Amino acid sequence: MPRLTELRWRPLLLSFALGLLSVAAFAPVGAFPLIVATLAGLFRLLDNAARETQAMPGAKIGFAFGTGLFLGGVSWIYVSLSTFGGMPAPVAGLATLLFCLFLALYPALAGAVFTRFAPAPGWRRPLFFAALWALSEWLRGYLLTGFPWLAVGYTQTPPSPLAGFAPILGVFGISAAAAWLGASLALAYATWRARGTTAALRGPLLAIVLVLASGALLREIRWTEARGEPLSVTLIQGNIPQELKWRPEWFNESLRTYFRLAEENPAQLTVLPETAIPALYDQLPPGFIDALRGLALRQNGELILGVATGNAQAYANSAIAVGAAGLQRYDKSHLVPFGEFVPPGFRWLMDLAQIPMSDFTPGAARQAPIRIGALNAALDICYEDAFGEEIIRALPDADLLINLSNVAWFGDSLAPAQHLQIARMRALETGRMMLRATNTGMTAIIAADGRVVAKLPPFTRAALRGEVRAYIGTTPFVRGGNGPIVMLCLLCVALLWRRNTVS
């Protein structure tokens, strides 16, 4: 039998397939139990490799899993670079591949540490695996401005019983729980195969049932409560094609589209998407903002418009609120590398693309909520809602969350549905309703328990009307952020870390 340090392609191919299959656990497919099964398979491969106590087999297995996961799950990056960014297809393909391979280094690191330092076979190994997996996801969401997309915890939005842990431990805590469930199932199966008796399954299966039951019970707890009267809202989905949006001849069409939809769907709060108008705020036609303000004042409310502010030398990705409370503004603070700012040394790469306004100035990390009558709303723009610890900066002062997005850059891909799932997790973590106004989809109203109350079909020009409530109170996650789960996972690794090298 060959040594595990001479791993052949079959385990790596299986690990790659497991990673690729994991994409179906996320939206839009949403087969949330599947992630437990694929992580069980990954644990089984790593558990076998751990007999050698060498890091390299685990690194290869983790890298293969991550490569499958990210190539399948964030393939929409190619769409943004090539189809809409104008980058030559071979260059866009290579850039996407290299990015996915870079992301795969994080599960590779988790796999390497597991196989090198896993505790003795038994119940400790699933805990060690779960802690390492959650830490690798947190690290991926933190280093180099972070990319927390496809954290496995996002698969567990309602109706998953694990959603109950979101207000306490956040998305990475759910990732740890899902990884532990998968590893525990794999261990129980291996024990059953080795001993041939069901008695050995009682302990692991009881623990699994208790975790699932605890999550289901926690879903019934309401950490926050609604206050005040319902507020009428209109979320406008302009459906302006990305390939036409920045053409001068389409400028007036954009103005007419958004004004007409706002005029025909009056509400106390009207929200337009990110960069709804393809121009700087000061370049808008005279009277246009006054006309929008007039629409808001009809309801004694506010209208929020996504538009760039500043000048040709320094401009911000902003949301401007006009209405009864006067002029209010939010500037996006967490910018997307290559899409909204150019990292040092990569100007040559962006010169190959045709992405307008790709070097924004970031806003302040902490900005005051937008006032809407008696309600305070925390705004975030596009990709910012992928960072739960940044969203909670405005809490508990904010009663409502509002996201303005333009995911038209990614076409009819997995990205819009995945982004909606991320927004649902933010609602769960904070106990606040979340509004999403997008250019092409998914425009939606999300309840404080993560349920989608209403949404528009993608790629339709329409307005979504509904009501929202202000929510007061504080979830444990709002108080502690990711700190508690990160410390818990670090403590778990420190206690279980095998210091000797004898298997």
Q: Which CATH superfamily is domain 232-474 in?
A: Carbon-nitrogen hydrolase (3.60.110.10)
- What pLDDT was estimated at residue 501? 44
Output b/e per residue, 341-362; b: 16+ Cβ within 10 A.
Answer: bbeeeeeeebeebebebbebbe
CA dist 390 and 365 (Å) reads: 8
* pLDDT tens digits along 449-500: 999 999 999 999 999 999 999 999 999 999 999 999 999 999 999 999 875 4
Report the phi/psi class of residue 481: left, alpha or beta, with left for phi > 0 and alpha for psi in -120 to 50: left
pLDDT tens-digit profile of 327-337? Answer: 999 999 998 87
pLDDT tens per residue across span 373-398: 989 999 999 989 999 999 999 999 99
Q: How confident is the model at residue 410 (pLDDT cuts 50, 70, 90)?
A: confident
- Backbone phi, then psi, for 256, in 5-degree steps? -65, -40
- Residue 332 falls in the annotated catalytic set: yes
235-265: pLDDT as tens digits: 999 999 877 777 888 889 999 999 999 999 9
Could you say which of 52, 274, 302, 429 is catalytic? 274
Strand 452-455 and strand 444-446: the pairing is antiparallel
| Whether the predicted pLDDT of 1 surpasses 50 | no
Tell me the β-bridge partners of 376: 371
**Is pLDDT above 90 for 399?**
yes
Q: Where along the chain do its domains lie?
A: 4-221+482-496, 232-474
pLDDT at 350: 56
Which one is predicted more confidently, 6 or 92?
92
Question: What is the percentage of the chain residues whose pLDDT exceeds 90?
Answer: 72
Alpha helices in 284-405 (DSSP H): 288-298, 347-351, 388-391
Catalytic residue among 332, 384, 389, 455: 332
In angstroms, the CA 81 to CA 86 distance is: 6
- Render 400-448 in DSSP notation, one character per residue: EEEEEE-GGGG-SSSHHHHHHHHHHHHHHHHT--EEEEESSS--EEE-T
Q: How far is CA 148 from CA 70, 139, 290, 300, in A?
A: 12, 9, 39, 39
* Percent of the chain residues past pLDDT 70, beyond the cut: 91
Q: What is the pLDDT of residue 294?
A: 96
Residue 360 above 90 pLDDT? Answer: no
Choose the catalytic residue: 52, 340, 382, 489: 382
